[in-house]
């Protein structure tokens, strides 16, 4: 069958979803799985097979290795293959010897081609090497495999370095031969290559440090594990505190976590407490600690008449509801007497006579429906805080009991 | 001087939140952009600024091998029953990890089910696990889970994938190993004092068996 590049490209394009899936999964993809996951038609599947883009082994499908290699090369991923470099160098050597023999220009072109390829390939291999080393150190979960793979990368690195030396030597040995050709482009390619080779050598030395560092880190951890087992043995024998300086070491550990430091807590800003959120917070706290006196009053509108300004401060702290409840529970005093003689909590402090009067009026307005008005006026003489004698008339609000008496 | 004049990094608040909770910031952590926070702290200029900034609150940033944590200035570390108990438990845990066929190293992925499986198949591991004082758990899997959760809480591990219950071993785990390294066994020649910053040349036997 005659295969054209166009055929391959269009087949790859139309089945790109399947190709991508196969490239990501690599192995263990069954034919039915591939067809259902990627909606690959039967016809297209046969086309892929006939072009040898995919192979079929015992009901599993794999991508052709050269397709995988193509993607990996372009994406600069996959396994490091320093052998490619050696192959290219051999090719360069071959064509140089042909040129030396014939001095024919047609051998210059392949030399240029392979030198260019070498330049790209060496850089690519080094990038792949670095990626693979990092990936192995970070993601390989089995430490033995991890160590072995790192050792393998060390060998690959050595192969790359020796390839670079070989190439450098080859270039300097044949300098005169190559310069005779008078090809400006070749000269340019060699110059760039030389420069890149030097840079790549530096990079490879850095990689070597990385590998050693990684291997030492793993080895360090393994050594510590061995020591941990010894210490554990002593612990099991009850000797931990006597045969080691465990206590001393632990005493000197300074992370705050192990020294009982709690994270710092900041206090809420007073301004925040005056906002809606703050009010909700206050209510929650008041409920939690059962601080009924601290309940924040939301509607000041209930005080519809001119009331002593100073009292407002206290009213925030006085829970009128509780006061009324207490009043209703007792039997001796009427409301005004009750308020007059009531021992307010410490937070509220001492109320002046005027404040008590205001409170009385406020309660009357607020709890009009719950209270039982007797419609009788009582006059009393009281001495206020400035030692003035004042005669006050007020309406008698008896507690519930009297109301029952009245109704009976 | 105003706070703006200090030109603190944007992530200062996040860094403080993590460190002040007593957690470590590891270079290979992924949650809450931890590796980014590590990079910010690892910048010498930022480090200096943050050190003096947090110093006002009497916190000191301590730098370990690929991790950071907070200690308190003017408050020498104390020795308490709880602290001793915690580290005795950590010795048990690290000893268990050391006895696993597949040793847990920094950067490894750990699944409680896999460890429990290995413990089930190995009498020695079974005994070790049974002896670790864990109060809440009965069966092996739950015990291993509790251990992983404890390491996660102390920010030595990180729950990477909840669905498959995979934990990642963070760089801060190295702190525990360093604690072990610092313990001297009396009457034994001190082990070659190796720190990671100055590693010795070790001839590695890659095929221990």
Say which CATH number the domain at B89 has.
Answer: 1.10.10
> What would the pLDDT profile of B28-40 be if each residue is shown by its tens digit?
888 888 889 999 9
Last residue of one domain, picked from the residues B72, B99, B120: B72
User: Which of B71, B175, B185 is closest, CB to CB, to A244?
Assistant: B185
- Report phi then psi at B66, rounded to 5: 70, 25
Looking at the fold, whether B63 and B85 belong to one and the same domain comes out as no
Our CA-based measurement puts residue A154 at a distance from the nearest CA of chain B, in whole angstroms, of 13
Looking at the fold, whether B101 and B164 belong to one and the same domain comes out as yes
Do the Cβ atoms of A243 and B185 come closer than 8 Å? yes
- CB atoms < 10 A from the CB of B204, how many? 17
Which residues of chain A does B72 touch, with a Cβ-Cβ cutoff of 8 Å?
Answer: 254, 256, 259, 261
Among A323, A335, A331, smallest CA distance to A380 is for A335
Alpha-carbon distances of A353 from A81, A341, A363, A376, B167, rounded to whole Å: 99, 11, 15, 21, 71
Question: Residue B22: which domain range?
Answer: 4-72
Kind of pairing, strands B166-169 and A29-30?
unpaired
pLDDT of residue B90: 93
- Report phi then psi at B6, rounded to 5: -75, -20
> What would the pLDDT profile of B159-189 be if each residue is shown by its tens digit?
988 888 999 999 999 999 999 999 998 877 6
**Is residue B42 situated within a structural domain?**
yes
Average pLDDT score over chain A? 82
**High-pLDDT (> 70) share of chain B, %:** 86
Our CA-based measurement puts residue B112 at a distance from the nearest CA of chain A, in whole angstroms, of 14
Domain ranges of chain A: 5-73, 81-232, 319-407
Give residue B32's region: left, alpha or beta (phi > 0; psi -120 to 50). Answer: left
Report how far residue A339's alpha carbon sits from residue A359's, in angstroms, rounded to the nearest whole number: 8
B152-181 residues touching A, CB cutoff 8 A: 154, 174-175, 177, 179-181
> What would the pLDDT profile of A288-297 be if each residue is shown by its tens digit?
777 665 544 5
Q: Return the residue in A244, A259, A266 with the most chain B beta carbons within 10 A, the one to mutate for interface testing.
A: A259
- CB atoms < 10 A from the CB of A324, how many? 17
Report how far residue B176's alpha carbon sits from residue B64's, in angstroms, rounded to the nearest whole number: 11
pLDDT of residue A405: 45
> What would the pLDDT profile of A30-61 be if each residue is shown by its tens digit?
888 888 888 888 888 888 888 888 888 888 88
**Is residue B187 situated within a structural domain?**
no
User: Which of A213, A247, A249 is closest, CB to CB, to B179?
Assistant: A249
DSSP state, residue A77: -
pLDDT of residue B150: 92
With a threshold of 0.95, does the pTM exceed it?
no
The answer to whether domain A5-73 has CATH 1.10.357.10 is: no
pLDDT of residue A341: 84
Rounded to 10 degrees, the C-alpha dihedral A88/A94/A100/A103 comes to -80
pLDDT of residue B158: 93
Looking at the fold, whether B68 and B126 belong to one and the same domain comes out as no
Last residue of one domain, picked from the residues B52, B72, B92: B72
pLDDT of residue A3: 80
- Ranges under pLDDT 50 in chain A: 295-296, 299-305, 310, 312, 314, 402-408
CB atoms A240 and B98 under 8 Å: no
Which residues of chain A does B174 touch, with a Cβ-Cβ cutoff of 8 Å?
Answer: 221
Place of tokens 């007797």: A374
Confidence of residue B191 (pLDDT cuts 50, 70, 90): low
**Is residue B12 situated within a structural domain?**
yes
Q: In a 10 Å sphere around its CB, with 0-12 CB exposed, 13-18 middle and 19+ buried, how is residue B171 labelled?
A: buried
Report how far residue A150's alpha carbon sits from residue A139's, in angstroms, rounded to the nearest whole number: 12
Looking at the fold, whether B109 and B159 belong to one and the same domain comes out as yes
Looking at the fold, whether B134 and B93 belong to one and the same domain comes out as yes
**Is residue B52 situated within a structural domain?**
yes
Which H helix or E strand runs over A30?
Answer: strand A29-30
Last residue of one domain, picked from the residues B24, B40, B72: B72
Looking at the fold, whether B8 and B65 belong to one and the same domain comes out as yes
pLDDT of residue B51: 93
- B26–chain A Cβ distance below 8 A for any pair: no
pLDDT of residue A92: 92
Average pLDDT score over chain B? 84
Domain count, chain B: 2
pLDDT at B192 over 70: no
Report how far residue B133's alpha carbon sits from residue B50's, in angstroms, rounded to the nearest whole number: 39
pLDDT at B129 over 50: yes
Please report, for chain B, how many H helices and E strands are present, in that order: 8, 6
């Amino acid at each position: 069958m005659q295969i054209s590049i166009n055929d391959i490209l269009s087949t790859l394009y139309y089945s790109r979803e399947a190709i991508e899936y196969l490239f990501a999964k690599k192995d263990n993809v069954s034919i039915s799985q591939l067809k259902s996951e990627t909606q690959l038609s039967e016809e297209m599947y046969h086309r892929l097979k006939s072009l040898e883009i995919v192979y079929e082994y015992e009901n599993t499908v794999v991508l052709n290795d050269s397709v995988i290699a193509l993607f990996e090369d372009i994406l600069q991923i996959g396994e490091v293959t320093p052998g490619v470099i050696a192959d290219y160098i051999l090719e360069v050597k071959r064509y140089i010897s042909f040129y030396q023999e014939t001095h024919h220009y047609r051998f210059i072109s392949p030399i240029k081609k392979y030198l260019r390829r070498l330049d790209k390939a060496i850089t690519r291999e080094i990038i792949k090497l670095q990626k693979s080393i990092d990936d192995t150190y970070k993601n390989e979960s089995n430490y033995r495999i991890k160590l072995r793979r790192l050792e393998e990368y060390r060998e690959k690195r050595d192969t790359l370095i020796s390839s670079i030396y070989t190439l450098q030597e080859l270039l300097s040995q044949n300098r005169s031969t190559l310069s005779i050709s008078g090809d400006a482009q070749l000269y340019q390619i060699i110059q760039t290559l030389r420069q890149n080779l030097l840079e790549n050598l530096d990079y490879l030395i850095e990689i070597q440090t990385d590998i050693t560092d990684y291997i030492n880190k793993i080895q360090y951890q393994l050594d510590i594990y061995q020591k941990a087992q010894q210490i554990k043995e002593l612990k099991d024998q009850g000797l931990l505190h006597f045969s080691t300086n465990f206590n001393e070491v632990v005493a000197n550990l300074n992370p705050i976590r192990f020294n009982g430091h709690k994270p710092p807590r900041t206090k809420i800003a007073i301004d925040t407490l005056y906002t809606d959120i703050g009010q909700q917070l206050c209510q929650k706290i008041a409920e939690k600690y059962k601080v009924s006196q601290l309940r924040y009053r939301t509607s000041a509108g209930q005080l519809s008449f001119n009331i002593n300004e100073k009292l407002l401060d206290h009213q925030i702290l006085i829970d009128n509801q509780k006061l009324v409840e207490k009043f209703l529970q007792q039997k001796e005093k009427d409301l005004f007497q009750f308020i007059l003689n009531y021992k307010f909590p410490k937070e509220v402090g001492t109320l002046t006579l005027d404040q008590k009067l205001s409170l009385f009026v406020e309660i009357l307005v607020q709890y009009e429906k719950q209270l039982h008005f007797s419609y009788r006026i009582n006059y009393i003489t009281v001495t206020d805080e400035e030692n003035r004698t004042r005669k006050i008339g007020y309406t008698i609000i008896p507690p519930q009991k009297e109301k029952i008496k009245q109704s009976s | 001087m105003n706070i703006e004049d200090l030109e603190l990094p944007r992530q200062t608040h996040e860094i403080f939140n993590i460190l002040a909770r007593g957690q470590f910031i590891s270079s290979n952590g992924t949650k809450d952009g931890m590796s980014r926070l590590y990079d910010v702290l690892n910048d010498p200029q930022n480090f200096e600024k943050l050190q003096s900034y947090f110093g006002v609150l009497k916190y000191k940033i301590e730098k370990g091998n690929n991790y950071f944590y907070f200690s308190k200035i003017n408050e020498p570390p104390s020795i308490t029953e709880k602290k001793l108990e915690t580290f005795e438990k950590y010795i048990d845990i690290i000893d268990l990890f050391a006895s696993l066929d597949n040793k847990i190293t920094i950067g490894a992925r750990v699944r409680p089910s896999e460890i429990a499986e290995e413990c089930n198949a190995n009498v020695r591991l079974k005994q070790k696990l049974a002896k670790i004082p864990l109060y809440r758990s009965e069966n092996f899997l739950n015990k291993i889970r509790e251990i992983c959760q404890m390491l996660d809480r102390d920010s030595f591990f990180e729950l990477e994938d909840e669905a498959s219950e995979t934990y990642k071993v963070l760089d801060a785990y190295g702190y525990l190993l360093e604690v072990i390294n610092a313990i001297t066994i009396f009457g034994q020649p001190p082990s070659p004092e190796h720190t990671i910053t100055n590693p010795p040349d070790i001839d590695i036997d890659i095929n221990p068996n």
